[in-house]
Structure 1
Amino acid sequence: MGPQRRRLVIDGLAFEMIDSPRPSGSAAPAMVLVHGVGMSHRYLSRLHRRLGASTRVVSVNLPGFAGLPRPSDDIDVTKMGRALARVVATLGEDRVVLVGHSMGVQWSIEAALAPGEAVAAVVAIGPVCDERHRTLPSQATGLAVDTLGETPLINTIVFTDYLRCGIRWYLRQVRRMVAYPTEKRMRSLGVPVLVVRGERDPIAGRDWCRRLRDAARVSRLVEIPRQHHVVQHSAPHAVADAILFHTAGDWPDAAAVHARTAARNAS
């Protein structure tokens, strides 16, 4: 059976899900893939297929992107993340790994911080925004440099998705992205975090990714050689293998990490 597409409206926000069923005999946690600003599930499709050979995978198109209706108000990262958490809750899974790319990492963090026990881990691919480069010109420069290293196919997907998104909504969300304190919010997470970056990613630099890794309570960092920002499309096998290996159960489970976090907060 191929992926099933369906829409879901949460608090007036329209989401679309591309859902590949769990293969027979799979015990791996479900994977929920979250695109970045301006983007859609399309640049996650190779990773989706690779992960889908091992477990249930759901790619989510967020409100205002991928041709979905734009929200009437300029919603912030927290509100979008909380709505995403409610989408995850509809899946009926007791273990979910949120896999975010770029700004999708921010929305995934907020979804993992929302009430609920389903999220078992967060995967942060090419996370933004480096607090030392947290300006619109700096992010634009990084994006421009990255296009020189990506394949023509990736650049075509990226820029056609930007056009579908629309410049006004894109810029509204980019401002939210730049203002969001990723490192600070990462420290609040009570689930394990896997940070993934391409070795040549000019947007999610090595020092920044190391700081994010160190900010999380339970974390690891994987670097994919010779790859750039859209590493999940250019090297889907390597990224999928890293995700499956590092979320296979050798980390403390979410409940144990939640308990330690609560104890620390109480002390």
Structure 2
Amino acid sequence: MKKLIAGLIFAFIGSATLLYLSPAAQLASLQLIERQRAGLSLKQISVGDLNIHYYDGGPSSAQTILMVHGFAANKDNWLRFARYLSQDYRVIALDLPGFGASDKPAGSYDVGTQTERLSSVIDALDIEPLHLIGNSMGGHISALYAARYPDKVLSLALLDNAGITAPHPSELLQRLQRGEANPLVVRSGEDFQRLLAFVFVEPPYLPESLKGYLAEQASANSTHYDLVFRHLVERYIPLEPELPRIQAPTLIIWGAQDRVLDVSSIDVMRPLLRKPSVVIMADTGHAPMIERPQQTADHYRAFLQAQKPGA
């Protein structure tokens, strides 16, 4: 009870303080509050010539869950989701090379290259075998890692993952085929508002000042994100031939209203996986762990519990 009261007081003070801070300070304060709630610490590690930033928390002796974000995103995408897991698991959420606070190396950002970079990070952290979970592009990378390194993965969870040619083309794919601008790359404040509406059914609340600041940050990276997206398309690696090589039990979670990657991808994936479990979440878009963090974590925890001996 004391911990609960202290947490509520901390949250109230933090929320009140945010009203008087600059947008940059607001973001830093929100990140701090969410890290505290999730029990995570900010860390960094040198991997070759790259500096990789990540969150780390939970019991050091517990099994590790590694969380891999999607395109134009970062490790903060996992904070509210991680809150429901870090008491029983060691949780690591990283900024992939080229994203967030991690270094932006020269060279390619196709999923094959990023998978090998992820492998180097995992080796440097010395955390295999592990539970691997990824969203969107991060799901594509995570699935490819599980296929290439099957002995290092205890379980795999894919949240609205890329890498599949869906029977029903997504709205994103249809827009791009018509030659329209990529809605995932932000170039203005209006683009950021449209991005939130495109990715979520119910966008998370953000103060207007913070939306503007996040839009500015995203706009500043638009040239880099255009490059990354071009690499993902031009050097595309389909998952269909890779999925049968995955040995680990695999959970697929998909938002039923995902406009970025169509839910019909599941129809392709399920028969190719050795041990699939599927959850389709109603009234949910492309990033379930952000839009519905507790519900998504409940599904994921149930999946992890089912993998324990005797379950």
Cα RMSD (Å): 3.1
1:37 is paired with a residue of what secondary structure? coil
The aligned counterpart of 2:88 is 54
Which 10-residue stretch deviates more, 167-176 or 192-201? Answer: 167-176
1:56-87 Cα offsets, whole Å, 9 max, x none, are 11001111111332111123211211221232
1:120-169 Cα offsets, whole Å, 9 max, x none, are 111110111442546771594698562462415379498566346x1222
Give the distance between the partners of 2:217 and 2:244, measured in 1 at CA.
32
Counterpart contact for 1:8–1:15, Cα < 8 Å: yes
89 and 186 in structure 1: CA distance in 2 versus 1, 3 angstrom threshold: same
2:104 to 46, 67, 70: 70
- Structure 2: which amino acid aligns with 1:41? K
The aligned counterpart of 1:162 is 218
The aligned counterpart of 1:21 is 58
Give the distance between the partners of 2:97 and 2:182, measured in 1 at CA.
23
The aligned counterpart of 1:146 is 198
1:184 is paired with a residue of what secondary structure? coil
Displacement after TM superposition at 1:97 (Å): 1.0
The aligned counterpart of 1:177 is 232
Matches within 5 A, 1:106-125: 106-115=140-149, 117-125=151-159
The aligned counterpart of 2:290 is 233
Displacement after TM superposition at 1:31 (Å): 0.9
Which 10-residue stretch deviates more, 2-11 or 230-239? Answer: 2-11
Figure out how many residues of one structure are paired with residues of the other and give that number.
Answer: 249
Give the distance between the partners of 2:145 and 2:48, measured in 1 at CA.
15
1:172 is paired with a residue of what secondary structure? helix
Give the distance between the partners of 1:159 and 1:127, measured in 2 at CA.
24
- Structure 2: which amino acid aligns with 1:199? A
Displacement after TM superposition at 1:14 (Å): 2.8
Looking at CA atoms only, which structure, 1 or 2, has the larger radius of gyration?
2
Q: Do residues 82 (structure 1) and 121 (structure 2) align?
A: no
- Structure 2: which amino acid aligns with 1:180? I
Give the distance between the partners of 2:57 and 2:96, measured in 1 at CA.
18
TM-score where L is the length of structure 1: 0.79
Give the distance between the partners of 1:232 and 1:82, measured in 2 at CA.
25
Displacement after TM superposition at 1:108 (Å): 1.0
Give the distance between the partners of 2:215 and 2:68, measured in 1 at CA.
18
Q: Do residues 30 (structure 1) and 64 (structure 2) align?
A: yes
Give the distance between the partners of 1:106 and 1:95, measured in 2 at CA.
19
Give the distance between the partners of 2:202 and 2:218, measured in 1 at CA.
16
Counterpart contact for 2:147–2:243, Cα < 8 Å: no
2:240 is paired with a residue of what secondary structure? helix
Displacement after TM superposition at 1:188 (Å): 2.5
